[in-house]
Structure 1
Amino acid sequence: MSRHILLTTNCEYGQANVVLALAYELATRPGVKVAIASFAALDKRVTQLQTQLRDAGHESSDISFHLLPGRGHIEAVGMTRLDTPHGPGVKQALHSFRYAPSMLLPWTETEYMEQLRTIEGIIHKFEPEVVVVEWFHRAGQDVCKKLGLKFFVITPNSPKDLIGFRQPWAAGLWKFPAYVLAVSCSPLLLFDDTSINRLSSGYTYPLRWSKLIPNMFINLMLILGIRLSPVVHKADRMRKIYNEAIPPILVDPEIQYLCPSTPALDFPVVIPDNIILCGPLVMPTASIQTVDPELTAWLDLAPTVLVNLGSHVTFDCSAIREFASGFRPLLQSHPNIQILWKLRPEGDVQEALDKHIESDVDIQGRVQIVHWLQSEPFAILQHPNIICSVHHGGANSFFEAVSAGVPQVVLPVWYDTYDYATRAEWLGIGLWGSHSSAPQAEASEFGEALLRVAGSGADGFRAQAKNLAESCRTRYTGRVRAADEILGL
C-alpha cells in the first residue's frame, strides 16, 4: 500500500526550491506517492522533476501537480524586480517595509477562500498521510489546522527567521541585526507560526553598540506599521472567518519545522526541539559533463569564478562598467583564473559589455558570458575548478555554495540577502562585496573582496567552506534527512 505525502507551496523559486528537492527525495522512496499543490508558474518545474525521476530510473508518476487558483504570491503582492532593491541602514530599511503587510496575505477574500476550498478538495481526493507546507504558504497551514491533519512546515531560510523573537532576554529585538526576524504584530498574526521576516538593516554581526538603538527602532517601526495596517486587519478577518477555533501561535510546539541550516551555519540562537535542522535542501542535479560538455571543457582549463546573481537582479551600463572594473584586479594578478558570468543582456547592456569586457585586453577571452546556464548552478559549483561563487545573497544560492564547499562573495540587494552577506563573513566562508555601495556594486570594493576570496591568499576561506560542506555530507544530509523525518512521523 502506497504512502501519500502532499506538499503545498508558493510558486516562487526562492520558496519552492526546497519543496521540490524534498519532493524528489520522497518520490525515490519505495511506495511513496507525492502530490504538489501550487500556482500555475510551478507546473513546468514539476514536469522537469518528473523527467529527472524518469532519467534516474524512478517512476515519474510518483509526483503529480495540482493547480491552485489565482495569482502567485509575489504577483499578488505587486513586487517587481525594479522597485524592490534597497540599500542598508535605517532609512532604506524603513522604506523596504512598504511591502511587509501585504507579504503576509496579499490575496482578496474571494481569492483566498477559493485557495482554501481547492486545497481541501485535493486533500479529500489524495488522502495524504502527512502534509508538508512551505512556511509562507499560509493557506496550506490554515487548512491543515482546520482539518486536524499531521503536517510539517518547511522553510528555505534559517531557524532564526522562525524563532528570532523567542530568544532569551528578548535578544531578537536587540542582539541580531534587523533584517531577518520573525515578527508580526496584528491581533491574530502576532503569534502566528509563519510571521513576517527578511528585514533589511544590513548591520554587521555582532551588532555594534552604536547600532543598538537604531536596530531596535527599525524593529519597533515594523511592529507598529504592521499593527496599524488595514491589509493585515483584512487578512485577520479572512482567517478568522475560515478557522476561528484554532488559536494562532508563533511556533507551535506540536508542529515540526524543517530548516536547511545546521548549528554551524547559524548565528548563536537557542533552537527548540521541534525545529529540525536538516542541512542544505538542494536538488539533485545531472552532472555538468552530461548536460553541457562544452562548458565542462572550458571549466577544465583553469580555476573559475562563477558569477550568478539570479534572474531578478538587473544590470544597466553603469553596473556592467563596475563589474568589469571589479574583475580586473583578480585577473591581472592571477593570469590563470577565468570568470563565468551568467547574465541576460537587456536594452543597451550589450553595447556596454562590448566596450568594457570584449575590448579590454586584461579581461578579453577570460570572462565567458552566458545568457542561460544549461546545467543547474549547483552542478557547476561542484566542478573542482570552481573557486568562488558570486551571488546576490538568496538563501538557495547561499546554501548551494555551502553544500558545494565553495567560498562566496555576496552582493546583497534586498531584504534577507543582507543577512546572508553578513552570515558569510561571520562564518569565515566569504565576504560581503558591497558594504558601502549596496544594492549596487562599486568596482574597487567588489574587486578587493573578489581578490581576497578567490586570490592566492584565500586558503582560510576555502578551508572553512570545505569543513562546513563536509558536515553537510555526513550528518546534515539535507533532503535525505528531511524525508526521513517525514516518513518516520
Structure 2
Amino acid sequence: MFLRLLLVAGAIIAALVALFIPGSPEREPYVQGRNKTALFISNIEHGLSNVHVATASALLEGYPDIEVHFASFAKLRSKLARVSAFAQAKTPAAKDIIFYELNGLSFYEAVLLLGGDLEKTICPPGIAGIDQFTNSLQDWISPWSADEHMVIYDQIGALIDEIDPAVVVLETFLRPALDSTRDKNRMHAIISPNTLVDNFLGDQPYGSMFWKYPALSSGFDFPVPYRNMLENIYLNFRFIYAAMLTPNLSAKKAELRTRGVKDPINFLKMHRPDVPWITMNTEGASIPVDVVPTNVTCAGPILLSVAPASEQDPELAGWVSRGPTVLINLGSGFSYPINYVRPMVEAVVDVLTKTHVQVLWKFNKYGEYSDDELAPLKPFLESGRLRLSNWLPIDVLSLLETGHIVASVHHGGSNCFHEAVSAGVPHVILPLWVDLYNFAALSETAGIGVWGCRDTSPTWTADGISSAIIKVVDGGEASISLREKSRSLGDKLRAGEKGRDISAREIAKLAYVK
C-alpha cells in the first residue's frame, strides 16, 4: 500500500538534493567474487521486487551457466520457486534460484510499526497534499530502527561472505542491504521500476527540473504549463527542505555509525557513476529527458512473464475470452475503505448497464462494513458479466496479453502502468497519492489513458469513474484513438527486445568475471 508513496518520492528527492551535495570521493575498485554468480536482494512487495524477479527469471533462461541467488523475506520463496520451474520449462539447462530467507521485519511490517496506514497514505496532489507527505518523509526513507537495520545488515554481510558473488543486484528501498554491500565494497548494480525523470532530474541542464518537469505529486502536464510553474518550483523546494532536515533519520544514522556502518542510509547519494543502474524508462510512455547518465540502461518495461493465462487458470481465461473485459486492479496492496467502495460499486453498475463489456474486479475490504454495500452488483454477478475476486489466479500481464482486456483500471503504480503499456491496453488511472498523479497525467499526455476523477482526486465519484471507463470502451472517437495509440505502442515494444532480457544481459556482464 505504501510503496508508491516511496518509490518515486525517494528517487526524485535524491535527484533534487544532489544539486546541493558535493560529489562522492574516488573509491577503490569494487570487489568481484566467484565467476558466474549473481546475488539478488530485494523487498517482498510487488512494486519493489517485480523488476528483480523478472530479471532473475530472464537470467535463468538466457544464461543458465550463471548461479542465481536471491535473498528476501519468506513470502517471496514460493514465487521464486514458480519462476524457476517456468524458466526450466523453457530452458532445460536452467537451474533453480537459490533462496535465502531474511529474518527481521519486511519493509511493509516496518512501516506499520511506524503507524503507517491507508488514511495516512492517501493525499491530494500539489500544494494541498505536500504537508502530509513531507511531514512523514523521514520515516518512509528507511522505516527500520537502528536495531532492525543491523539485523538485516549483518545477515546480508554474512551472505555475501558465504556466496562470494561476482555481482550483487540491489533495489533502492532495502537500505540495510545497500549499506552492507557498499561497506564491503562489492560489485553491485541497481534495478529500479522508476523512469529517468524520477531518478535523474538533478542531471538535467539549466535547472529545468524546477520549470520544465512536473514535480513529484503535482500531476502537472509535461512540460509544466506556465500557470503551474511557481507551484512546481515551490513543491520541489519543499521536497529538498524535507529531505535535508530529517532529525529522526539523522539520529538513526549517527547510531548506525557507532555500530560500524560506514555511510548509513545515504539516501541522497544512491546513484554512483560507477554503479550500473537499470530503469524501466520507455520511449513513448515516459517523459523525455535531455541528459542520461552514461551508466544508466533504459530497458523499457521489466516485467515478469510466466505461463499464458490459459495455463495458469483455464476457467478464468475462458471467461475473459467471452468478450471485451474491463480489469479493475488497484495494485497488490490496495484495499477498499467504505468511502471508496461505494462510488466504485455505483460506477461498475453504470458501466455494465450502459455498455456490453464484462468486468473483472480485484476486490478486498479495508475496515469493517456490511456486504450489503455490494448488493447492487448481484444481478451482474448472477448473469456472469461481473466477477469479484480477492486475488487474481492469473498474473496481470498474462491477463492483459490475452487481447480480451479493453481497459486496465489501476492506481497508477509503475508496474501496473508498464504492464498495460507493454500489452497495448488503454489505462483508466485513479491515483490516490504522490507519484501516482504524475503517471495519471502522463497517460493523458501520451494519449494512452484517462485520469479518472481528475477534478476530485483523491476522492472518487461514481460519475468520474464510470465516465472515464466508458470513454475508453464505448467505441467513440476518443475510445478509438486511445485504443489505437495504446496498441501501436504495445506492438512497437513487443517487436523489440524485452526489458527483462535487456536487464538480464546487463547483470550477466557483471556476473562474468573478467
Task: Please classify the TM superposition score into its range, dividing by the shorter chain length.
Answer: 0.7 to 0.9
3-state SS, counterpart of residue 251 of structure 1: coil
**Aligned pair partner of 1:379 in 379, 398, 406:** 398
Matched residue, 1:132 = 169
The structure whose RCO (Cα within 8 Å, separation 6+) is larger is 2
Matched residue, 2:447 = 428
* 1:75 pairs with 2:109: yes
Question: 1:83-106 CA distances to partner (integer Å, 9 max, x unpaired)?
Answer: 311122312122122331122222
**Aligned pair partner of 1:102 in 106, 118, 139:** 139
Matched residue, 1:188 = none
Deviation at 1:348, TM superposition (A): 3.0
Task: Give the alignment of 1:121-200 within 5 angstroms.
Answer: 121-179=158-216, 200=217
Task: Give the alignment of 1:442-481 within 5 angstroms.
Answer: 442-457=461-476, 458-481=479-502
3-state SS, counterpart of residue 327 of structure 2: strand
Matched residue, 2:294 = 273
* 1:233 pairs with 2:281: no
Matched residue, 2:16 = none
Deviation at 1:398, TM superposition (A): 0.6
* Residue identity opposite 2:413 in structure 1: G
* Residue identity opposite 2:296 in structure 1: I
Matched residue, 1:210 = 227
* Residue identity opposite 2:233 in structure 1: M
Deviation at 1:172, TM superposition (A): 1.7
* 1:324 pairs with 2:361: no
In 1: Cα distance, 2:373 partner to 2:363 partner: 13
Computed over aligned residues only, the root mean square deviation of the Cα atoms, in angstroms, reads 2.6
Task: Give the alignment of 1:357-436 within 5 angstroms.
Answer: 357-359=377-379, 365-436=384-455
Deviation at 1:165, TM superposition (A): 2.1
**Aligned pair partner of 1:7 in 40, 43, 61:** 40
* Residue identity opposite 1:423 in structure 2: L
In 2: Cα distance, 1:144 partner to 1:313 partner: 32
- Range moving further from structure 2, 40-49 or 222-231: 40-49
* 1:63 pairs with 2:97: yes
Instruction: Give the direction of change, closer, same or farther, for the CA distance of 1:128–1:369 in structure 2 (3 Å limit).
Output: same
Count of residue pairs brought into register by the alignment: 466
Matched residue, 1:257 = 277
Deviation at 1:317, TM superposition (A): 4.3
In 1: Cα distance, 2:263 partner to 2:305 partner: 41
Deviation at 1:405, TM superposition (A): 0.8
In 1: Cα distance, 2:469 partner to 2:340 partner: 16
**Aligned pair partner of 2:240 in 220, 223, 230:** 223
Instruction: Give the direction of change, closer, same or farther, for the CA distance of 1:465–1:344 in structure 2 (3 Å limit).
Output: same
3-state SS, counterpart of residue 118 of structure 2: coil
3-state SS, counterpart of residue 122 of structure 1: helix
Matched residue, 2:4 = none
Task: Give the alignment of 1:235-314 within 5 angstroms.
Answer: 235-237=252-254, 240=257, 241-243=260-262, 249=269, 251-270=271-290, 271-314=292-335
Deviation at 1:120, TM superposition (A): 1.7
**With structure 2 as the length reference, what TM-score do the two structures score?**
0.84
Deviation at 1:43, TM superposition (A): 3.0
In 1: Cα distance, 2:138 partner to 2:430 partner: 26
In 2: Cα distance, 1:279 partner to 1:107 partner: 31
3-state SS, counterpart of residue 156 of structure 2: helix
In 2: Cα distance, 1:295 partner to 1:360 partner: 16
* Residue identity opposite 1:150 in structure 2: M
Unaligned runs of 5+ in 2: 1-33
Deviation at 1:384, TM superposition (A): 1.7
The answer to whether the 8 Å contact 1:262/1:476 transfers is no
Deviation at 1:431, TM superposition (A): 0.8
Question: 1:72-126 CA distances to partner (integer Å, 9 max, x unpaired)?
Answer: 1232233223431112231212212233112222222222233222212111111
* Residue identity opposite 1:221 in structure 2: R
The answer to whether the 8 Å contact 1:76/1:107 transfers is yes
- Range moving further from structure 2, 238-247 or 402-411: 238-247
- Range moving further from structure 2, 153-162 or 233-242: 233-242
3-state SS, counterpart of residue 74 of structure 1: helix
Deviation at 1:413, TM superposition (A): 1.2
In 2: Cα distance, 1:364 partner to 1:81 partner: 33
The answer to whether the 8 Å contact 1:389/1:406 transfers is yes
* 1:17 pairs with 2:50: yes
3-state SS, counterpart of residue 7 of structure 1: strand
Deviation at 1:479, TM superposition (A): 0.7
* Residue identity opposite 1:223 in structure 2: I
The answer to whether the 8 Å contact 2:54/2:302 transfers is yes
Deviation at 1:58, TM superposition (A): 4.3
